[in-house]
Amino acid sequence: MTDPHYPKIILSFPYRGFKIEIDRTELDGQVIYAAWANYDRGCAVAVPSAVSRLEAIKKAKQWIDRRLQQV
C-alpha cells in the first residue's frame, strides 16, 4: 500500500484576494514544489510542479493574474 501524500506547506501569503500556499515534497531524492491558491469559494492547485520555491511563487501569481483577467 502506498503512503498518502499530505501537503507540507513551507510558505503562505496573501496575493490579490487569494492565499498562496507553497508545498515542498521530496520524490526519489528530488525536491518538488507546488502552489495552492485558496480563495473564498475553494482552492486550486495553481502550480502542480516547480523546481524551485521562487518558480512556484512566480507561476502561482501568474495563474491568479490570468484568472482575475477572465472575470
Q: Is the pLDDT confidence value at 4 over 80?
A: no
| Rounded-to-10 torsion of CA 12, 13, 15, 20 | 0
Q: Is the pLDDT confidence value at 1 over 70?
A: no
For residue 6, the model assigns a pLDDT of 80
Percent residues over pLDDT 70 in the chain: 97
Global model pTM greater than 0.85 = yes
